[in-house]
Structure 1
Amino acid sequence: MDDYDIGQHPDLRDPDWQRHAVKEAWVDLRRQRRRARMGKRLAWTGVSLVVVAGAVFGFVQWGRSTSAHYDGSAPPAAEMRPTAPSVLPDLARVNLERPFDGTPAETWGESVDSLLTPPPGPVGKFSAGEVQNAVAQVKEVIRAGRLDRRTIEGHDGSLLLNLLAPNARPEFAKAITDRTEGLREVVSFAEDGYRLLPAGPRITGTITAAPGREPNTLALHADYSVAYAFDPGSHAPILGPGDIDVFLRYEVDFELVRGTTYQKNDRGLWVTSTQGVVYSMACEPSKRGYLAPAYSEPYPDDPEAVGFDEAAMYDVTKPMPEFTGGCE
């Protein structure tokens, strides 16, 4: 039998579906978070959010929301509720050796092994062992893209790209090479001149599995939040963890392809869609897809932002936070 050409997938031939449809909204929620009790404003916290909604790479377009596709397979909500603050404090002492203390990330894990994963068992025609291996691949992609210092500080995208199916790499490779904002869909790059503290990133979240839409495919969904603590160097004063801690939350759909009915270079792991938010960071680097701490950028007097559920940044049992506006 001839290898199946994934480029002939019906979704890819549909003129109403843009294979690389990318919709981005930049939101700069500049809030007066820190005010002296005598009424004098001490500082501004710069808050910048990035949404990458509907960015589709690969060969499958989901025709339903992730919440509808994956409900029932996620771990119990109670398991994902750590005993920690639900939002960042406005003013707090910061211990640079323990920069996540007093933040929602203080109880998060230091590795992808802290992500909650499906209980052992088969999914569709994939055996329990095959599902376990697929989940391990997803965890490794998250580790390489979000937690590895060679990626974050060294801007080395190869760690992640080598984990994807050969034909799934080119679009992400172009974004990483050209340094377009789309790179943040799969990797976290620190802005030049900014480095993380010795305390590595922290992560929390879930990975779920479901039958794919095509034969010999397995759908996997990751919903995770990551915290990064940047070294402030000689900058002072640091008025709270929001000055140096950057948070992102992403929902990512993956598709594992196997079998001889697919071309060899199509077999493996694909990233099929991403949606994400970045919070408590500098705005200008964000426009270029980079992470930088909020203290690095001054902010003008803007009205206080309302309607943004900050707690949903850190609690993956909540829907992705919604907002409107633009980072100017």
Structure 2
Amino acid sequence: MDDNDISQHPDLRDPDWQRRAVREARGDLRRQRRRGRIGKRIAWAAGSLVVVAGAVFGLVQWGRSTSAHYDGSAPPPAEIRPTAPSVLPDIAQVDLTRPFAGTPAETWGESVDALTVPPTGPVGRISAAQVQNAVDQVKKAIHAARLDRHTIEARDGSAYLNLLAPNARPASAGNIADRSSDAVMSQVSFAAEGFKLLPANPRISGTITAAPGTDSGRLTLHASFVVGYAFDPDGYTPIMSPGYIDVFMRHEVDFEMIAGSNYPKADRGLWVTRTNSIVHSMACGPAKKGYLAPAYSELGSDGGPVQNEAALFDVTQPMPEVSNPCD
């Protein structure tokens, strides 16, 4: 028997158990639909950094999916790309070797190369080479902060901090070091103590755009992206849906690249000027301290959902609203 195929478990083939399990799961999930985010806005005068970090716990708008799975570092060509569901499924079989199957993330890429980037060319008075360098730095920062397994599982933000301009690091480092709030989530993705990812890499989808800054030495960039993390259930059963183990983060991040000899050396480089984030389908307890943990670890808790789950997974739509903080 395939250890990952829960459909072969004797309990799951018993009709009475199936009916009882579905009733109990839907009861838990109705409570989770009321789960909200925790939010915090933190402003720094230096760098004009404004951060919103949120957490939404719940598995909402469920509907069984039959979409195909794509396993690759970048999305397949549009003509062969399967249609992924727009929200998380309801009650669905989960294959731990393909934990994103049947979710919006099943067609996303596994690296920042999956992000759509600006066409090659100058932006205002910024040369094409400078634009390309800035985009590359943003991609490296996103990878280090949100996709790098060492960052996530070892809870180590050093790779991310080292990509920022020297004078940009103290504010970000302060948030990462803060264990009294969820501020760390505005900078990096850390797994909660005792939780680890499955071998499947995180998935990502989104865009990076560039625009002229306030002068010839500045370039502003905006990244809109969503990331999925598949957590190891560590023997927990039954896994009734991908939403039990898959955690998703939607981010809107503004960057600024500063270059040129008219700026102090410590100011030159990449700055994060604003972030807005929502975390979905996860445990609220760890989220209050800025850590990611799968929803199965808090089944049965109360709260409230995002108001438009499909928008959370679609970066062409505005960031959705959430309701009822996780108290």
Contact 2:217 2:259 in 1 (8 A): yes
Question: Alpha carbons of 1:58 and 1:234: their partners in 2 closer, same or farther (altered >3 Å)?
Answer: same
Change in Cα spacing, 1:105 to 1:306, as seen in structure 2 (3 Å) is closer
Q: Deviations over 1:31-77 (max 9, x none)?
A: xxxx9599833352445534455755753579xxxxxxxxxxxxxxx
Instruction: Give the Å deviation of 1:160.
Output: 0.1
Q: 1:271 to 1:301 in 2, by over 3 A?
A: closer
Q: 1:41 aligns with which of 11, 21, 24?
A: 24
Q: Which of residues 47, 62, 71 is equivalent to 1:59? A: 47
Higher strand content, 1 or 2? 1
One-letter code aligned to 2:299: P
Paired with 2:85 and 2:151, the residues of 1 have a C-alpha distance of: 29
Residue in 1 that maps onto 2:242: 241
Residue ranges of structure 2 left out of the alignment (5+ in a row): 1-17, 51-77
**Distance in 2 separating the partners of 1:39 and 1:101:** 20
CA–CA distance in structure 2, aligned partners of residues 54 and 177 of structure 1: 15
For structure 1, list consecutive stretches of 5 or more residues without a partner in the other structure. 1-34, 63-78
Name the SS of the counterpart of 2:143 in structure 1: helix
Corresponding position of 1:216: 217
In structure 2, relative to structure 1, the CA distance for the partners of 1:234 and 1:102 (3 Å cut) is: same
Residues 55 and 229 (structure 1), Cα distance of their counterparts in 2 relative to 1, 3 Å cut: farther
Post-superposition Cα deviations, 1:170-229, rounded to whole Å, max 9, x if no partner, equal: 011122223342111120000000000000100000000001124410000000000000
Kindly report the root-mean-square deviation, in angstroms, between the aligned alpha carbons of the 2 structures: 2.5
Q: Look up the SS of the partner of 1:228 in the other structure.
A: strand
> CA contact under 8 A between 2:195 and 2:232: conserved in structure 1?
yes
Structure with the largest fraction of helix: 2
Q: Write out per-residue CA displacement over residues 246-302 of structure 1, whole angstroms, 9 at most, x where no aligned residue.
A: 000000000001112211101100000000100000010000000000001132466
Counterpart mapping for 1:40-119 below 5 A: 40-42=23-25, 44-45=28-29, 46=32, 49-51=37-39, 55=43, 58-60=46-48, 83-119=83-119
Give the Cα separation in 2 of the matches to 1:137 and 1:54. 24
Contact 1:165–1:265 (CA<8 Å) still a contact in 2? yes
Checking the alignment, whether the CA contact within 8 Å between 1:84 and 1:107 is kept in structure 2 is yes
Which digits, 9 at most, give the CA deviation of each residue in 1:140-195, with x for residues without a partner? 00000000011000011101000000000001112222334211112000000000
Distance 1:241 1:181, change over 3 A: same
Q: AA paired with 2:320?
A: P
Q: Closer, same or farther in 2 for the Cα pair 1:37/1:254, shift >3 Å? A: same
The secondary structure found in structure 2 opposite 1:40 is helix
Tell me which moved more, 293-302 or 205-214.
293-302
Q: How does 1:234-313 map to 2 (within 5 A)?
A: 234-300=235-301, 305=304, 308-313=307-312
TM-score, normalisation: structure 2: 0.78
TM-score (norm 1): 0.78
Q: 2:64: which partner in 1?
A: none
> Following the alignment from structure 2 to structure 1, what is the Cα–Cα distance between the partners of residues 41 and 265?
30
Determine helix, strand or coil for the equivalent of 2:239: coil
Query: 2: CA distance between counterparts of 1:225 and 1:167?
Result: 28
1:176 and 2:176 aligned:
yes
